[in-house]
Each structure stands twice: as C-alpha cells, then as structure tokens.
Amino acid sequence: MNITINEEDGKVRASVCGRVDTTNAEQFLQGVKPLMEIEKPDIEIDCGELEYTSSQGLRVFLMLQKAVSAKKGSMVLTRMRPQVKEVFDITGFSNIIRIV
Amino acid sequence: MKHRFEPLEGRNAEIIESVMGCEEVAGLSEDIRFKIRLCVEEVEENILCYSGSTWVEVEVLRSENSVTVKFSDGGVEFDPLSKEDPDVNAPLEERQIGGLGIFLCKQMMDSVEYRFENHRNEFKMTKRLK
C-alpha cells in the first residue's frame, strides 16, 4: 500500500495504490492523517490503483469522511475498480462517501 | 490444502497467502480470488479478536462447482453469525465499523455456516464457481 498527496490551488489530490488490509490499515490511517487536518477540505482521491480493501480499510475511509464532513468539506473517490466498488456498495459506504 | 497455524497472533498475512497460493484457489478467476481473500481476512481477524484461541486450522476444499474454506479454532464458543447485521443505510454520523467484516463475508459467499463441536469453533464458507 502506498499513498501520495499533492496540493494545487487549494485542491488536494491524493492517490492510493496496492492493498489495504489488516496488516497495513494503521499505516494507511497515518498516511491519510494530513487529509484530516486540512482546514477547508476539497479532496479527490484516485483509487484506480487500489487493488483491494477489507473492512479495515473501510474503517479508515469512514474516519476520513467523518473528518471532512465535520469541516463541511468535500471528498470524492475516483476511478475505483469494480471489485473494490462492490465492497463499498455492499456495506452501503457508497451512500455516505462520494464515488465517481 | 490443510494447515494448522500456531501461534495465531501476527499470522494473518501468512494465512491469507497460504490460501491464495494453494492449488485449490490459485487458478480461480480474479473476482472469486478477491472475494476469497477478503473473506479469509475477515474471518481470521474475527477469530483473532473474539475466540482467544492460540491456533487455527485452515482447510480449503475444491469441487468442480465450488470452493470451500473451513476454519477451526480451540477458543471460547463464539458464533459470528449470531451478531446482528450492521445498518448499511445508516447516515454517516451513526456509522460503526464493527460487524462489517462478517457481513461482507455473508454477502460475498454463497453459504456460511458456524457450529461449535468438540470444543472447537467451526466456520465454513463456500463460493460457487461460475
């Protein structure tokens, strides 16, 4: 798992690649911490290279969405692979996290 | 494939890779392999959290039309299927992460079964192959 974050004109673009699972969910959480600390979050996360997430990864996405919503910011996940999308769909996470 | 993992702590990645690498699973479609990986991780994590067992036995069985993964552990009796399903329609503020793993497993597999027998938790999940 690897996460990169870039900021340009107030808009934050991040990308996550590889697998997020029980072995590295904590590392993923630390990786997205800077996104949780943005004052006015306007975040786009490219999930095109995200191969896999278990419920441990969902937990981190949920914490991130809660932090962004608490600041009335916006977050969108893009290019999600169908199998990963299915995990978000089954758990109803697609209803609370914007995926395009 | 049948293998006993003892001790259990910290073996999650090893358990997942041994299932994913075994001949019963190696040749399956990417979609089925994704689901098996996820469900093995979730069940394994559940055993680690709740059963208190120091070991787990993992067995993979393959027939022409299905693949089955069985987990057996010597911990305290715990039926993961007895837990209420999480509310997948709850608004963001009320979302909890607990229970999602086994719920995913129930949704992604074609059958899941639990029984407590001979002082062992036995969990079995089966996926039909297209």
pLDDT > 90: what percent of chain A? Answer: 97
Distance from B86 to chain A by nearest Cα, in Å? 8
**Residue B56: CA count within 13 A, CB half-sphere:** 29
Check residue A8 and give its pLDDT.
87
Rounded average pLDDT over A35-59: 96
Give B-chain residues touching A65 at CB under 8 angstroms. 92
**C-beta atoms of A90 and B41 within 8 A:** no
Chains A, B: CB pairs < 8 Å = 59
Q: Which of residues 22-41 of A touch B (CB under 8 A)?
A: 22-23
Retrieve residue B82's tokens: 């007895």
Geometric angle at alpha carbon B46, from A80 and B26, rounded to 5°: 55
Closest to B104 (Cβ–Cβ): which among A62, A87, A96? A87
A19 min Cα distance to partner chain B (Å): 11
- State pLDDT tens for residues A22-32: 999 999 999 99
Does the model's pTM come out above 0.80?
Answer: yes
Tell me the HSE value of B47 on the side-chain side, using a 13 A CA sphere: 32
pLDDT in tens, B35-59: 999 999 999 999 999 999 999 999 9
Given an 8 Å threshold on Cβ–Cβ distance, is A22 in contact with B12? yes
Query: What stretches of chain B show up as alpha helix (H) in DSSP?
Result: 12-21, 23-26, 30-50, 100-108
- Sequence-ordered list of residues with C-beta below 8 angstroms from that of A16, at least 6 positions apart, any chain: A1, A2, A3, A28, A31, A45, A46, A47, A49, A50
A54–B42 C-beta distance less than 8 A: yes
CB contact under 8 A, A23 and B13: yes
